[in-house]
Amino acid sequence: MEYRQLTQTQRYQILALRSTGLSMREIGKIVGCHNSSVSRELRRNLAPDTHYKPEEAQALSETRRRSALKANKRDAGVIIWIKERIRHAWSPQQITGFMRRFCKAGIQISHQWIYDLIYRDKANGGDLWTYCRLPVSRRNRRQLAKSAGLGKIPNRVGIAARDEAVDHRLTIGHWEGDTVLKGHKDSALVTLVERRSGYLKMAILEAVSADNTAKVIVRLLAPIRGAVKTITFDNGSEFAAHEVVSKALTAKAFFCDPYMSCQRGTNENTNGLIRQYFPKGTDFAQLRKSDIRKVENALNNRPRVRLGFRTPAEIFLGEYSGALETSGAALIA
């Protein structure tokens, strides 16, 4: 039988089967591995309290695998492990983040290097690209950028220029902006979400144009301009007047990479929540302002797991007013 590393699913199976009193050989047949692998797994991965716990066993196994690898990022073992994760639908960002957690003093690989690995694999006839959420060929990026409207956005500044500290969500003031559309810009909502808290501001766009979008954004954020430091937009041409917004709010505007909505993940997730109230096909031009405020208030006052079951309004308004002393602390539960 070919040796393979045990998966977390197999570790859960071992725990369940061991509790029934089955032998190592019987467990190995059911799980699909050699009985010596089962014995070694139980011997090497016991928790400090001498009980076998699949989660801790997985973490210990990953730590050993990382520490056993050389510091060369092109080590064959590293590549095999990364390919396994890709085929389990892990994104390059998730892979690099996991490695940072369990390999602080060892090998580190950037998510861009993993994308390069995927592109090379595809060029050689491989299938790694089919496991990506957005399987886009690099050679098409220039055309994609053009079709995404980047050429229609004057003085556009990409997200790569944004301060890395924004990624850590330690302070309020960094927003993401997008539109929720009906049809081909028949009617729309502007949605603005604060990254740290998830606090939402939104309004109806009576006409989907750059000038009108800029006016609505300024109207929404001007009353809280002290908590507006950066805004990261989608690449839609409706955000072409971003310089008007930046000047009015004294904030910096950035744009995510083409077809990389994950770079505005807070906004995208919130738009999905909004769709629970306004399904696709909703004509936003027919809604009343009170309908928008009702949904905005509902989402801003809904407890979130990542906020330790606080609400977006509690975090944002509390930190903005100084009443809540959590600024600078990680909130992800």
**Would you say 34 and 2 are in contact if contact means Cβ atoms under 8 Å apart?**
no
Name the domain boundary from 68, 91, 124: 68
Q: What CATH number is given to the structural domain containing 176?
A: 3.30.420.10
Residue 318's pLDDT is: 93
3 touches 28 (CB < 8 A): no
- In a domain, residue 306? The reply is yes
For the chain, the 3-state helix, strand and coil shares in percent, each to the nearest 5, are: 55, 10, 35
308, exposed or middle or buried, with CB in 10 Å at 0-12, 13-18, 19+? middle
In a domain, 143, yes or no: no
Per-residue pLDDT, averaged over 80-87, amounts to 87
Q: What is the pLDDT of residue 49?
A: 65
Q: How far apart are CA 164 and CA 174, in angstroms?
A: 12
Q: Is residue 131 part of a domain?
A: yes
Quote the tokens at residue 329: 């602390």
Same domain, 239 and 162: yes
Q: In the chain, how many domains are there?
A: 3
**175 with 314, same domain?**
yes
Indicate if 220 and 99 belong to the same structural domain. Answer: no
First-to-last alpha carbon distance for the chain, in angstroms, is: 42
Note whether 165 and 239 are same-domain residues: yes
- Quick count: other Cβ atoms within 10 Å of Cβ 54? 19
Average pLDDT over every residue of 280-289: 91
Token representation of residue 89: 């639908």
Q: Which residue has the tokens 């998510």?
A: 111
pLDDT confidence of residue 109 = 79
157 assigned to some structural domain: yes
User: How many Å apart are CA 204 and CA 197, to the nearest integer?
Assistant: 22
pLDDT exceeds cutoff 50 at 290: yes
Tell me the C-alpha distance between 277 and 180, whole Å.
12
Are 49 and 81 found together in one domain?
no
| Mean pLDDT in residue range 98-111 | 70
Digit-coded pLDDT (tens) for 190-239: 999 999 999 999 999 988 899 999 999 999 999 999 999 999 999 888 99
| 50 domain residue, yes or no | yes
**Domain final position from 68, 93, 122:** 68
Q: CA 57, 309, 291, 264 torsion: positive or negative?
A: negative
- At residue 173, the pLDDT reads 96
C-alpha 253/C-alpha 255 separation (Å) is: 7
Going across the sheet that includes 252-255, the strands are 200-205, 187-194, 174-182, 230-233, 252-255
In a domain, 121, yes or no: yes
Do 39 and 98 lie in one domain? The reply is no
Residues 61 and 94 in one domain: no
Same domain assignment for residues 163 and 200: yes
Q: Do residues 304 and 250 both lie within one domain?
A: yes
CB atoms near residue 315 (< 10 Å): 24
Q: Is residue 64 domain-shared with residue 106, that is, in the same domain? A: no
**Which stretches within the chain are classed as H helix?**
8-18, 24-31, 35-44, 54-68, 76-87, 92-102, 111-123, 141-147, 210-221, 242-249, 265-277, 289-300, 312-321
Both tokens assigned to 172: 């309020």
For range 141-158, the mean pLDDT: 65
Domain containing 234 equals 152-321
Residues 170, 86 share a domain: no
| CATH number of residue 6's parent domain | 1.10.10
What predicted TM-score, i.e. pTM, was given to this entire model?
A: 0.56
Q: Given 26, 47, 68, which residue is the final one in a domain?
A: 68
Domain assignment present for residue 146? The answer is no
Task: Looking at the structure, tell me whether residues 39 and 187 fall in a common domain.
Answer: no
Domain assignment present for 23: yes
